[in-house]
């Protein structure tokens, strides 16, 4: 969810009540000790808790998308801004004092909810744009594992075709490799390998590189320990392979490097997705816990 001009109305809906609340708090605090049990403190606490409950209703709205109660985007904006407004109101409710043990636990949990919510809003604002700019080959998240398997198969096919060309098996050689061999003046008794000016040692070098570096990287999600997971080191390794292999096989190296580049983008997309959604593992459970403890706090405070 990007914070754009559509949030302008919500900004005013939040800023005006907050300014009024602060304006009322100043003379109230100057008259004496601020207490959450005073009539002013109860107003702040009641309104703040009501906003917390309203923001928490977003989870129910998301679990029941068939409910035609407002648009999902409106609920998201309301959750963000009303939830943000509840935090300073709760601070005004207690006069910036933490109180007893239950209140201290509740407030520190509320701080964690507030901070994680702001963190999530920042992520949702910036990460999608970064993802679009840096990951031109972005794919559907649920399809990442399947696409990675396809890349692994494609990488092996590239090496297999190059190996076939080096062994003189024209039937498995790629069209480009046949064309290079033909341009070298190959006739019926000249193999593709000789037309490419290659030999068995070159083929063994290519296969060793694939099995030692590329195969493990393509087969595993992430593979942070691989040199191919780092763009600069990966480009250096493929430059070295172009030096070792004859020019006629450079197209195969280019294709293999493109496969590794796409795999790297898939890994980056997975990391961004986990970051974009992982903060909810902290924010959501703590939010429910704060609502529950807030209700207990209200009952205890009013009763005793």
Other C-beta atoms lying within 10 Å of the C-beta of residue 222: 13
What pLDDT shows up at residue 186?
Answer: 41
Contacts 24+ apart (CB under 8 A), 129-134: 129/2, 130/272, 131/269, 131/272, 134/265, 134/268
Cβ distance 218 to 263 under 8 Å?
A: yes
Residues in the chain: 304
CA distance 241 to 209: 8
Q: What is the pLDDT along the chain (304 residues), one digit of tens a residue?
A: 677 788 888 899 999 999 999 999 988 888 776 777 788 888 999 999 999 988 887 766 666 655 566 676 777 888 889 999 999 999 998 888 777 778 888 899 999 999 999 998 888 888 877 777 777 777 777 888 899 899 999 998 988 887 776 665 545 455 555 554 455 444 433 344 444 445 566 777 788 888 888 988 998 887 777 888 888 999 999 998 888 777 778 888 899 999 999 999 898 888 888 888 888 888 989 999 999 998 888 887 777 6
Give CA separation, 34 vs 27, 49, 56, 97, 182, in Å.
Answer: 11, 18, 28, 9, 91
Helices and strands (DSSP H and E) totals, the chain: 12, 0
The pTM of the full predicted model, rounded to 2 decimals, is 0.70
Other C-beta atoms lying within 10 Å of the C-beta of residue 206: 24
What pLDDT shows up at residue 67?
Answer: 58
What pLDDT shows up at residue 38?
Answer: 82
As given in the structure block, the two tokens for residue 186 are 């190959």
DSSP E strands, the chain = none
Helices (H), 168-199: 175-183, 192-195
SS3 65: coil
As given in the structure block, the two tokens for residue 4 are 């754009």
What pLDDT shows up at residue 18?
Answer: 93
Cβ distance 226 to 98 under 8 Å?
A: no
What pLDDT shows up at residue 63?
Answer: 61
The DSSP symbol for 211 reads I
Count Cβ atoms within 10 A of the Cβ of residue 290 and give its class: 0-12 exposed, 13-18 middle, 19 or more buried. buried
As given in the structure block, the two tokens for residue 85 are 């407004």
Other C-beta atoms lying within 10 Å of the C-beta of residue 202: 19
What pLDDT shows up at residue 195?
Answer: 45
What pLDDT shows up at residue 114?
Answer: 93
């Amino acid at each position: 969810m990007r914070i754009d001009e559509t949030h302008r109305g919500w900004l005013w809906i939040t800023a005006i009540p907050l300014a009024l609340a602060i304006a009322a708090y100043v003379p109230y605090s100057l008259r004496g000790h601020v207490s959450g049990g005073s009539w002013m403190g109860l107003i702040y606490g009641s309104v703040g808790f009501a906003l917390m409950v309203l923001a928490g209703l977003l989870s129910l709205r998301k679990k029941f998308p068939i409910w035609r109660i407002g648009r999902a985007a409106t609920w998201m904006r309301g959750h963000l801004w009303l939830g943000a407004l509840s935090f300073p109101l709760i601070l005004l409710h207690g006069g910036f004092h933490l109180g007893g043990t239950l209140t201290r636990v509740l407030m520190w949990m509320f701080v964690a909810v507030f901070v994680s919510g702001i963190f999530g809003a920042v992520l949702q604002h910036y990460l999608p744009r970064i993802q679009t700019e840096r990951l031109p080959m972005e794919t559907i998240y649920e399809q990442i594992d399947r696409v990675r398997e396809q890349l692994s198969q494609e990488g092996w096919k590239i090496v297999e075709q190059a190996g076939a060309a080096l062994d003189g098996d024209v039937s498995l050689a790629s069209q480009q490799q046949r064309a290079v061999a033909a341009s070298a003046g190959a006739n019926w008794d000249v193999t593709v390998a000789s037309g490419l000016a290659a030999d068995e040692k070159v083929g063994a070098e290519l296969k060793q590189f694939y099995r030692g570096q590329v195969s493990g990287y393509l087969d595993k999600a992430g593979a942070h320990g691989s040199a191919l997971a780092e763009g600069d080191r990966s480009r250096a390794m493929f430059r070295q392979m172009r030096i070792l292999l004859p020019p006629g096989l450079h197209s195969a190296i280019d294709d293999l490097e493109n496969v590794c580049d796409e795999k790297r983008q898939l890994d980056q997309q997975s990391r961004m997705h986990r970051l974009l959604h992982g903060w909810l593992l902290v924010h959501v459970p703590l939010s429910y816990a704060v609502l529950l403890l807030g209700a207990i706090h209200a009952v205890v405070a009013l009763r005793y």
